A and B are shown apart, each in its own frame.
Chain A
């Protein structure tokens, strides 16, 4: 018997910023799942490797009225005019039409970093140095995800190792659809506050599609028209208002990249 996964998915996420407490479990689970190395001493927020970066944003008020939220930022999986794909001279970026996931092929990447410049979300990371783990930690790498080498760009791919495992399981069971329980990215699995909802946006009855349609859900920089598949949610007006603001660059970043 031959089985094929025929369903066309549009995988996406909704992140409830009111529930996120900045515990960092998602970013650590992501690093463990995707074999992202720990930082070298010289690394910082600008040159480090975190597929899932988290920033703190304040409401601009003064103590004690000031509030802040944590904003997890990673590849927003742009649907249209995907900026990183358009500029890549190596054809190292592609969109899987059956899942909507923007993929990155490190073997093709020549490290020009055009995609990093083009990405409006600063969600792509360059391997400035060779990846380094202690000897024992090398034995503890995820066998389903190849580590990347110095000189290439990498980014979130909604844990493609887990997607392949779910597809294989579905195929082996003669199913033409992935069971949603079988495909959960590491960040979603690790979030104890249940701040991240993941699933198929094409399925209008799925929790993620329903959450995306909520009046308090929004996407960052939606005016660019790239149709990101990552939504955010907050009941606070000031949080929703930041969606159309560009990231503020520090004086140092402005002059030194």
Chain B
């Protein structure tokens, strides 16, 4: 008898089937496979194929002039390391340089001219033709009554000469430099000197004591490899005067923790001790034209008084002055934190004058004369922000590179005409300044075009090298030299500006014609005398293959006289309620862009605090009712923003340290005007600096 198939049988079969399947490998295999499929849906990139090559070149990310080896696959650079035995950078590359090949592929890269249309939060970025951007800027220059300014962020390059020539050919042109973190001491000394035709450089390798007033010498200062080599040698004592426990303070032999903003008084106090204890050589006194006036100013600053002003014990001040005077080869460096901007000029003068008092100018292990590189001589000094009257700039052209110092938008606003000013940015990547500009004509990005690498600021001898292109240039990007040529044509200005590569080649030929100095060859770490090279073309070829030219040391002389030019100094009134010190990392501040991989430093580790972080001492935290990781409201005269609080016992009580780090996840634009960048909360003073701002901190 045939069995009837019942509903119960179907349910039993189905249930059994499901149970059986669960105990079989099938669902687990499907789960595993679907996981693998979704993991690999084209989201994990495939790797490039092709030959592996090494290309020797130089990094033009900053003015350090580091030699690099680019490891390439199919011609694309995938890693950057140093050049062993490189005479300038000593075989190393800085943290930013290790990822410099990413800059051309930055998420905020701009590859053709743009303009901002609309106002405030309505503003949008839209593409325009090169002709439109150039014509609009030229028309504004032609009709301008205020000044036309070019901000050169890395002076001393071939393009810097083009900028100067263009500005000299129009009636209201001003050549403006952002201050250099490294060059401030040598530039201040040059301004004090008469009878010196050359530039100055630091003979750090032969110094036995460095007294640094805030210069971040062990944190990306100058050519980083040179300074780390000095640190590794361990033969030079370093005393760091710093208002914060910076990386340089941490690595120095001795840290003098000074109350923020009081550096000038410590320098005058040290000078006073040297003068009172008759440690200043008679020859030095004779060379100073205003010695009496200088002594009259320093007289007031006894160790006890300076101790009261600076917070440093008087016996440490006396000990430091005596250590300086008894050293054979001391150097005193000025240069404030890159996030907080430069010192005011009176502070720079007070600090730099100590070198003159010590008699270390023109001596081995001191500050020495350096011949200018042929073709790169500078005949006139540029202006700095402090020299520009408020609301006087009508047209501002901002160069394509970064100076190392932060550049607050509020500083530019202070200098631009209240109505009617316009800004043209040449930056290849959208940054804090280009995001506020009227037009953007992007230059080729790093490693997309040939660039010259002039002598790094403060280097003891002249150097010259080339940064060769490693990447294909984006078609609609324009060399700054070509932009200036187009502007000159539109303004009917007669200027002969060759293409950039041709211009640099001309400089190379001019240098070769002097037949002096040596070339360091990267491929075999050898040295070649320039006079042994047959032709200028051979010299050029070697430079494009990664060689660096090194000048001979010049004969030092002592036929100089100095004028310090210090104004009468008023003792400051202390008691700012809660001073906020802005700090940053040279070349990686809120106004610069860095490789996205720098998130490893800023976001995924505790190495550098992200923008929007304030650090305070535990006692300050108790005073303001704050604890670790709290959200707080930071207010200054410029506005208010929410910040993240870190507690750090290395910070001076009663002080806020504010991180001026790059904005990794978006920048402030007219469309997104505020709320993420502490730099714009800093108060810019008439000295063109923003180091200390009164702030309020409230727990949210």
Chain A residues at the B interface, C-beta cutoff of 8 Å: 19, 21-25, 27-33, 36, 38-39, 41, 43-45, 48-50, 53-56, 58, 60-64, 66-68, 70, 110, 130-131, 133-143, 146-152, 186, 189-190, 192-194, 250, 252
Contacts and interface: CB of A to CB of B under 8 A. Distances in A.
Interface string B85-98: 00000001111001
B78 A25 contact: no
A45 B35 contact: no
Contacts of A27: 600-601, 605, 607
B299 interface: no
Given A192-B228, A250-B629, A28 B598 contact: yes
Given A54-B607, A64-B257, A136 B650 contact: no
B426 to A, nearest CB: 21
B604 interface: yes
Interface stretch (B119-127, B244-252, B354-362, B684-692): B244-252
Given A63-B649, A190-B93, A143 B603 contact: no
Given A31-B99, A143-B47, A149-B40, 12 more contacts: A19-B232, A21-B218, A23-B219, A23-B247, A32-B78, A32-B98, A56-B607, A68-B250, A133-B45, A143-B50, A143-B52, A190-B92
Contacts of A140: 76-78, 101-102, 105
Given A55-B605, A149-B43, A137 B105 contact: yes
B44 A131 contact: yes
A250 to B, nearest CB: 7
Contact of A60 (B45, B73, B81, B649): B649
Contacts of A21: 218-219, 247, 250-251
| Nearest 9 Cβ contacts at the A-B interface | A136-B105, A48-B604, A39-B599, A38-B596, A192-B92, A24-B601, A130-B43, A149-B39, A192-B228
A131 B45 contact: yes
B179 interface: no
27 contacts: A23-B94, A24-B95, A24-B601, A30-B600, A38-B597, A38-B600, A39-B599, A44-B603, A56-B607, A60-B649, A62-B649, A63-B617, A64-B257, A64-B652, A68-B650, A130-B43, A134-B106, A140-B101, A141-B48, A142-B47, A143-B47, A143-B49, A143-B50, A143-B78, A148-B44, A150-B44, A192-B94
A149 B40 CA distance: 7
A28 B95 CA distance: 7
A25 B98 contact: yes
A63 B44 contact: no
A224 to B, nearest CB: 24
A61 B619 CA distance: 12
A131 B47 CA distance: 13
Given A25-B95, A29-B98, A63-B257, A134 B44 contact: no
A22 B248 CA distance: 11
Interface string B207-246: 0000000000011100011001001100000000000010
Contacts of B92: 190, 192
B515 interface: no
Nearest to B77: A140
Contact of A193 (B232, B600, B665): B232
B604 A50 contact: yes
A141 B45 contact: yes
B261 interface: no
A131 B597 CA distance: 12
B628 A250 contact: yes
Contact of A56 (B598, B606, B617): B606
Contact of B607 (A36, A70, A110, A130): A70
Contacts, number: 194
Interface residues of B, number: 71
B604 A43 contact: yes
A92 to B, nearest CB: 14
A121 B462 CA distance: 48
A138 B105 CA distance: 9
A244 B537 CA distance: 63
Contacts of A131: 43-45
B105 A134 contact: yes
A150 B106 CA distance: 23
Contacts of B161: none
A48 B44 contact: no
A123 B44 CA distance: 23
A18 to B, nearest CB: 9
Contacts of B628: 250
Contact of B78 (A28, A67, A141): A141
A150 B35 CA distance: 10
A60 B648 CA distance: 10
Given A41-B665, A49-B604, A194-B232, A137 B649 contact: no
Name which of B40, B77, B600, B606 has the most chain A CB atoms within 10 A of its CB: B600
B599 A45 contact: no
A186 to B, nearest CB: 8
Contacts of B45: 131, 133, 138, 141, 147
B43 A193 contact: no
B116 to A, nearest CB: 23
Contacts of B78: 32, 140-143
B256 to A, nearest CB: 9
B406 interface: no
B605 A45 contact: yes
Contacts of B77: 140
Given A41-B665, A55-B605, A32 B597 contact: yes
A64 B52 CA distance: 51
Contacts of A32: 78-80, 98-99, 597
Contacts of A61: 649
